[in-house]
Structure 1
Amino acid sequence: MRIAIISDIHSNLEALTKAFEIIETKNIDEIVCLGDIVGYGANPNECVELIRKRVKYVVMGNHDYAVAVDPTELFYFSSHARESDLWTREVLTKENLEFLKSLPLTISFKNLLFVHSAPAQPKEWEYIFTEAQARIQFQYFNEKICFIGHSHLPGVFPEKGTYNGKIDKNIRYIINVGSVGQPRDGDWRLCFGIFDTDTWTYEQIRSEYDVEKASIKIIQNGLPEFLARRILVGV
């Protein structure tokens, strides 16, 4: 089975549409979304509806949770994130809000775990930036690989040793697939992952998309200019 794992779309319709175009060319059997469909960008309804239509397995992200479940979580966000999520909460349709509210925190199949933030306490929205932080998390799941998003920083963390570009079946991993709609690793191109359960291989995908259009729409909708600028440079 070939699985495309996308995460952190953040209402970026141009990036999500391009990601789906790429997925259609990759002989994919299943798509998994690791959450944060909304927040920051200008097209929350369109992005949620595309995910509802095309993705069978979806977990909840912290922006999805703050918008659809508990708006008090917004107090922990930056001012730009808070402003965009309050706007998102106002413009989302009832159906799309209910969809976000219904999402689980984790999904597991094929000896793979899928979670937005971290396996230890998914609802605490912890970040995994380093190998040391990742290795603490291995005691909290039993699957061979845990796929995450949340930090917008792609990376592969083995339980032991260092990652050499190949997935070893004898080693467990935490893999951050990066962000479709708002990369923060200095590369503005959309990012997601493809995992093959038959060959046990992982491929990271990067692609250009119409980032200028996505940026302009953020400003046109009265959202913070900072959010429009950051997607142009990937920070």
Structure 2
Amino acid sequence: MKLGLIADIHEDVDRLRQALDRLREAGADRLVMLGDVFEMGHRLPETVALLRGARVPGVWGNHDYGLCVDPDEEMRARYGPEVIAYMATLTPRWVEGEVLVQHVEPRGNPEELLDLWLPGVWPPTSEQLAADFAAFPQRRAFAGHRHCWRAMTPEGPLPWEGLGPLALPADRRCVVVVHAVADGWCGLYDAGEDVLTPIRLD
């Protein structure tokens, strides 16, 4: 399986369209959205229309939470039924085989709003690493939120900043943070080869 990873769109419709095109060209079998569709609401219907048209499932982010979890009548009226219907499909976590996707690193509980604003330092502390890898059973976890490329194993960060493909260590579990579409990035994870390839947009 080749999994296309789309993180932190923030209503950047033009770059989202590029990401969808580039991931199709790269042979993605599935696409998944890692949270933060929303920015200010100005281009939300157009953003959602692209995601719906491409049948992209996903998870909610800190910016999306209010639209996904019991939106009030004002939000429903402002954004309309198609936006609300798509946002209702977003979940706190998405799992496919040995892959976990959520908006923040696994130590953050995406069902708790404050956890979705998860602060962090880099490199992570040994306590943060332990909490991350204790929080999920899969071999690979992908998160967004940070607007950068990062990767870590239980032993610590990997020396990688998204400047080229990352061959994930076969003998270790990994958490990978995916850079933002809004900043001109998406990624392709080839589960067969166990390689993540950053894709630069623009």
- Shared fold per TM-score greater than 0.5: yes
Distance in 2, Cα, partners of 1:39 & 1:16: 13
Distance in 2, Cα, partners of 1:63 & 1:176: 17
Deviation digits for residues 62-111 of structure 1 (CA, Å, limit 9, x no counterpart): 21112343679xxxxxxxxxxxxx9x876422221132133210011120
Cross-structure match for 1:2: 2
Contact 2:141 2:176 (8 Å CA) reproduced: yes
Cross-structure match for 2:104: 117
Deviation digits for residues 169-194 of structure 1 (CA, Å, limit 9, x no counterpart): 1111111111101x3xxxxxx11211
Deviation digits for residues 149-175 of structure 1 (CA, Å, limit 9, x no counterpart): 112222112221442443111111111
- The two structures, once aligned, show a CA RMSD in angstroms of 2.3
Contact 2:37 2:47 (8 Å CA) reproduced: yes
Contact 2:33 2:57 (8 Å CA) reproduced: yes
Residue ranges of structure 2 left out of the alignment (5+ in a row): 160-165
Given candidates 186, 196, 200, the residue that maps to 1:202 is 196
Contact 1:3 1:28 (8 Å CA) reproduced: yes
| Structure 1 residue runs of 4 or more that deviate by more than 6 Å after TM superposition | none
1:196: Cα distance to partner?
A: 0.6
Structure 2 letter corresponding to 1:160:
E
Cross-structure match for 1:139: 134
Cross-structure match for 1:168: 169
Cross-structure match for 2:186: 192
Structure 2 letter corresponding to 1:109:
E
Distance in 1, Cα, partners of 2:78 & 2:176: 33
Distance in 2, Cα, partners of 1:28 & 1:176: 19
Distance in 1, Cα, partners of 2:33 & 2:14: 17
Structure 2 letter corresponding to 1:144:
R
- Structure with greater helix percent: 1
Percentage of identical aligned residues: 26
Residue ranges of structure 1 left out of the alignment (5+ in a row): 73-85, 184-189, 209-235
Q: 1:62 to 1:161 in 2, by over 3 A?
A: closer
Distance in 1, Cα, partners of 2:78 & 2:11: 12
Contact 1:146 1:174 (8 Å CA) reproduced: yes
Distance in 2, Cα, partners of 1:61 & 1:162: 24
Structure 2 letter corresponding to 1:177:
V
Residue-pair matches, total: 187
